[in-house]
């Protein structure tokens, strides 16, 4: 592996683990609850994450350039929630722009099994061809659009293997309760767990993240389950403990409870257990 590629991947995944903060939702959802002012939302979370995943528009308008956090640039889009088909994406960002913005990696969605399977896989292939020349890793995102029922192991394993075969250096995919280890085992590049729809409880988030890590994922790329939480900073701190310190869901929940704000400051919970 070229030095530049290796250096970027090690920045993104220190010690082989990663906590990416997803904040690219507006590229197809518009103003998302909790992300109306993305710069303000993410600022207190920066100490806990390894990289930010965002579009060039949010990066330029909302992220302090003095921040030392690596950037994974969302470079596919062109569709919206009100359009006919979310899968009909194109590459939105040139290699010159990627380099100009000093991105450490780029992210692109593929929609395998959709009417635009071939087009999105072609987008991925062309992006890999271009970015490899400059040592910039491509993270493929196995998107399912509005068809959330596709999030089962056989389908996810198929998607992850295909994008790895086409040259993605990492894959962002959904966690599934059954046979997730088979998804990871069949993928020759690092697997990063996506957040998906917002969970009902904090413990539910900690449990699926912990399970994903235990079954071989290198980390997480979460957004709504962090910054839509009223105690987003405590949530980020707890998730970092799972990813980088091998905390259990219970330990993470204790960290969350001990760090969340109350009307009188921060609550105090014994997290030594």
Enter the pTM of the model: 0.92
- By residue count, the chain amounts to 273
pLDDT at 145: 58
Please check whether residue 54 is in contact with residue 75, taking contact to mean a CB–CB distance below 8 angstroms: no
d(C-alpha 57, C-alpha 1), whole Å: 31
Residue 28 CB partners (closer than 8 Å, separation 6+): 77, 79, 80, 81, 86
pLDDT at 230: 96
Residue 180 CB partners (closer than 8 Å, separation 6+): 153, 156, 211, 212, 215, 217
Report the CATH number that the domain containing residue 39 is assigned in CATH: 3.20.20.70
246 domain residue, yes or no: no
| pLDDT of residue 49 exceeding 60 | yes
pLDDT digits (tens, 9 = 90+) for 163-208: 999 999 999 999 999 999 999 999 999 999 998 777 899 999 999 9
Please check whether residue 131 is in contact with residue 95, taking contact to mean a CB–CB distance below 8 angstroms: yes
Active site residue 69: no
d(C-alpha 231, C-alpha 261), whole Å: 7
Range of the domain at 8: 3-197+216-226
pLDDT digits (tens, 9 = 90+) for 2-29: 999 999 999 999 999 999 999 999 999 9
Q: How large a percentage of the chain has pLDDT more than 70?
A: 93
| pLDDT of residue 267 exceeding 70 | no
Q: Over the chain, what is the mean pLDDT?
A: 93
Contacts 24+ apart (CB under 8 A), 120-129: 120/76, 120/87, 120/89, 121/162, 121/163, 121/166, 123/76, 123/89, 123/90, 123/91, 124/163, 124/166, 124/167, 124/168, 125/166, 125/167, 126/91, 127/75, 127/91, 128/166, 128/167, 128/168, 129/167
255 domain residue, yes or no: no
pLDDT at 260: 86
Report residue 16 as tokens. Answer: 């082989």
- The catalytic position among 37, 122, 150, 172 is 172
203 domain residue, yes or no: no
Report residue 74 as tokens. Answer: 């969302």
Domain count of the fold of the chain: 1
d(C-alpha 217, C-alpha 190), whole Å: 7
Residue 188 φ/ψ, nearest 5 degrees: -80, 5
Element (H, E) at 261: strand 261-262
125 domain residue, yes or no: yes
237 domain residue, yes or no: no
In this prediction, residue 149 has a pLDDT band, given cuts at 50, 70 and 90, of low
pLDDT at 196: 72
- DSSP tally for the chain: helices H, then strands E: 12, 12
Q: Which residue has the tokens 């919970």?
A: 269
18 domain residue, yes or no: yes
pLDDT at 268: 38
DSSP annotation of 230: T
- Cα four-point dihedral sign 134, 140, 141, 147: positive
pLDDT at 53: 98
> Average pLDDT of 133-155?
85
| pLDDT of residue 41 exceeding 70 | yes
Least confident of 51-65, 220-234, 258-272: 258-272
In this prediction, residue 271 has a pLDDT band, given cuts at 50, 70 and 90, of very low
d(C-alpha 166, C-alpha 164), whole Å: 5
Q: What is the DSSP string of 9-24?
A: HHHHSGGG-EEEEE--
d(C-alpha 33, C-alpha 225), whole Å: 12
Terminal-to-terminal C-alpha distance of the chain: 42
| pLDDT of residue 104 exceeding 80 | yes
């Amino acid at each position: 592996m070229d030095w530049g590629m290796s250096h970027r991947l090690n920045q993104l995944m220190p010690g082989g683990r990663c906590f990416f903060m997803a904040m690219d939702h507006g590229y197809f959802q518009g103003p998302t609850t909790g992300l109306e002012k993305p710069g303000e939302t993410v600022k207190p979370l920066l100490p806990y994450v390894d990289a930010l995943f965002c579009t060039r528009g949010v990066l330029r308008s909302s992220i302090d350039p003095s921040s030392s956090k690596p950037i994974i640039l969302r470079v596919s889009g062109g569709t919206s929630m009100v359009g006919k088909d979310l899968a009909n994406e194109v590459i939105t960002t040139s290699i010159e722009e990627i380099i100009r913005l000093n991105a450490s990696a780029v992210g692109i969605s593929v929609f395998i099994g959709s009417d635009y399977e071939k087009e999105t896989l072609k987008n991925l292939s062309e992006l890999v061809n271009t970015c490899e020349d400059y040592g910039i890793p491509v993270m493929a995102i196995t998107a399912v659009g509005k068809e959330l029922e596709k999030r089962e192991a056989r389908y996810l394993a198929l998607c992850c293997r295909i994008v790895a075969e086409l040259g993605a250096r990492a894959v962002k995919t959904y966690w599934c309760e059954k046979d997730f280890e088979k998804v990871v085992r069949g993928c020759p590049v690092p697997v990063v767990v996506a957040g998906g729809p917002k969970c009902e409880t904090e413990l539910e988030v900690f449990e699926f993240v912990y399970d994903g890590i235990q079954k071989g994922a290198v980390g997480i790329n979460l957004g709504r389950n962090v910054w839509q939480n009223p105690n987003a900073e405590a949530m980020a701190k707890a998730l970092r403990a799972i990813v980088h310190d091998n905390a259990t869901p219970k330990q993470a929940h204790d960290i969350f409870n001990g760090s969340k704000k109350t009307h009188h400051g921060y609550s105090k919970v014994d997290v030594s257990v």
